[in-house]
Amino acid sequence: MTTGAIYALVALGYTLVYGILELINFAHGDVFMLGGMISATLATQVFKLDVGGGASKWPLVLLTLLIAMVACGSINASIERIAYRPLRGAPRLAPLITAIGMSFILENIALAWKGPNFVSVPNILPRSEVFHVGQVTYTWNKLTVVLITVPVLIGLVYLVQKTRQGKAMRATAQNADAAAMMGINVDRTISFTFLIAGGLAGAAGLLYALYVTNVRFDQGFQLGLIAFTAAVLGGIGNLPGAVLGAVLIGLIQAFNEGLSWHAPGSDWTQSIVFSILILILVFRPEGLLGERTPEGA
């Protein structure tokens, strides 16, 4: 569930961008990784958070969250500006290739910044027990992840469904030309979408850094692929679908790695996730919650 929540935040970023541009933003996973790096640095070096420390650290955690979200949002929006906007109207493969290039560039920025080792973060979130069911205890750090994820998701749904900007986003996703004729600034709407997607990735990065307590420069790409699978599983372009898919993938991963019987174990997690991805794309490309569209995807 907890991993699922983090996947959900990243998967939403993929879905938002895909919904509006029909582009797989390969660099998204690396934006998430940078979010983790930024929050790890802020939390440990600027705010000097550590194990324990009482209630006074919660505002600082929230402040870190906010900074990470803004930073990642800006990074993502600049990526769109540099690598994708000039290629609108080019063959489909062109922006996909720049996305891969961008992903490698971000990875190397992190490599140059933090070096090839894991950046470790102390257990800032308390690990005391909230409740337990049978043998399984549910700890505060897990609950915190969910407590941060859920309001962010609610905020996102509100933004997309109720606000003027959200309406512009949906209109652009449906038909960019028509939206432009209706007076929507398409470029700005797309930038805004990337900003939001990056913000979600930043939040996910913070939660990952605090929950898993270590980040490395090459983790973003892998996690990004898993999150993308989640988005496809739920139906790409579909917001609730992405969350559902992410929770499912999180559960599948937990079962695969946690249970001792009939599970191939963590060595095979990636293979399982990608097999799911391939099966979904082949047999039900619209995903679990997606609509059947003429292109079938």
The residues of the shown chain that bind other proteins, judged by CB under 8 A, are 22-24, 82-83, 86-87, 89-98, 100-105, 107-109, 111-112, 116, 221, 225, 228, 232, 264, 267-268, 270-271, 274-275, 277-278, 281-282, 285, 292, 294-297
Residue type, 250: G
Residue whose pair of structure tokens reads 């750090």 in the numeric block: 141
Q: Are 17 and 28 in contact (CB under 8 A)?
A: yes
Q: How far is the CB of 262 from other proteins (least distance, A)?
A: 10
Residue whose pair of structure tokens reads 């512009």 in the numeric block: 168
* Cβ proximity to other proteins, 110 vs 153, nearer residue: 110
CA distance 78 to 71: 11
Q: How far is the CB of 243 from other proteins (least distance, A)?
A: 20
Pairing state between β 136-139 and 129-133: antiparallel
Q: How far is the CB of 176 from other proteins (least distance, A)?
A: 15
* Cβ proximity to other proteins, 79 vs 247, nearer residue: 79
CA distance 283 to 275: 12
CA distance 114 to 122: 17
* Cβ proximity to other proteins, 9 vs 79, nearer residue: 79
* Cβ proximity to other proteins, 9 vs 236, nearer residue: 236
Question: How many helices, marked H, and strands, marked E, lie in the chain?
Answer: 11, 4
Neighbours of 274 (CB within 10 A): 13
* Cβ proximity to other proteins, 60 vs 94, nearer residue: 94
Residue 4, burial from CB neighbour count under 10 angstroms (0-12, 13-18, 19+) = buried
Q: How far is the CB of 39 from other proteins (least distance, A)?
A: 22
Q: How far is the CB of 112 from other proteins (least distance, A)?
A: 7
* Cβ proximity to other proteins, 42 vs 119, nearer residue: 119
Q: How far is the CB of 151 from other proteins (least distance, A)?
A: 31
Q: Where are the beta strands (DSSP E) in the chain?
A: 119-120, 129-133, 136-139, 214-215
* Cβ proximity to other proteins, 63 vs 105, nearer residue: 105
Please calculate the CA angle 121-123-129 and round it to the nearest 5 degrees: 155
* Cβ proximity to other proteins, 48 vs 292, nearer residue: 292
Indicate the length of the chain as a whole number.
297
CA distance 37 to 214: 9
Q: Are 47 and 9 in contact (CB under 8 A)?
A: no
Q: How far is the CB of 268 from other proteins (least distance, A)?
A: 6
Q: How far is the CB of 236 from other proteins (least distance, A)?
A: 9
